[in-house]
Amino acid sequence: MATKNSKKLTLLPKAIIPRNTGVDLDLDWVSSIQANTSAIERRATTIASRRSIKKQYQAAWLIQAVRCMDLTTLSGDDTIGRVKRLCAKAKKPISKTLTDKLGLNNVKVGAVCVYHDMIETAVSKLTGSGIPVAAVSTGFPAGLSPLPLRIAEIEYSVSAGASEIDIVISRRHVLTQNWGDLYDEVRSFRKACGSAHIKTILATGELGTLRNVARASAVCMMAGADFIKTSTGKEPVNATLPVSLVMMRAIREYHEKTGFKIGYKPAGGISKAKDALTYLSLVKEELGDQWLSPDLFRFGASSLLGDIERQLEHYTTGVYSASYRHAMG
The predicted-structure confidence for 156-188, as pLDDT tens digits, reads as follows 999 999 999 999 999 999 999 999 999 999 999
Which of 83-87, 254-258, 262-266, 301-305 is the least confident region? Answer: 301-305
pLDDT band with cut points at 50, 70 and 90 for residue 324: low
Cα separation of 22 and 200, whole Å?
Answer: 13
- 266 preceded by a cis bond (ω within 30 of 0): no
Q: What is the mean pLDDT of the chain?
A: 92
DSSP per-residue string spanning 174-211: HHTT-HHHHHHHHHHHHHHHTTSEEEEE--GGGS-SHH
- 229 labelled catalytic: yes
User: How do strand 133-136 and strand 111-114 relate by DSSP bridges?
Assistant: parallel
Say what the pLDDT of residue 327 is. 62
- 166 labelled catalytic: yes
- Work out the average pLDDT over 86-105: 91
Of 101, 265, 295, 307, which one is the catalytic site residue? 265
- Angle at which helices 273-286 and 241-258 cross, to 10°: 30
- pLDDT tens-digit series, residues 16-74: 789 999 999 999 999 999 999 999 999 998 887 776 677 788 999 999 999 999 999 99
Of 108, 229, 261, 307, which one is the catalytic site residue? 229
Of 166, 226, 275, 295, which one is the catalytic site residue? 166
Say what the pLDDT of residue 11 is. 59
Are 284 and 292 contacting, i.e. CB atoms less than 8 angstroms apart?
Answer: yes
Q: What's the CATH code, domain 54-326?
A: 3.20.20.70
- Work out the average pLDDT over 252-266: 98
Q: What pTM was computed for the model?
A: 0.92
- Work out the average pLDDT over 93-114: 92
- Work out the average pLDDT over 73-89: 95
Q: What's the distance, Cα to Cα, between the start and end of the chain in Å?
A: 27
Say what the pLDDT of residue 4 is. 46
- 70 labelled catalytic: no
- pLDDT tens-digit series, residues 197-226: 999 999 999 999 999 999 999 999 999 999
pLDDT band with cut points at 50, 70 and 90 for residue 127: very high
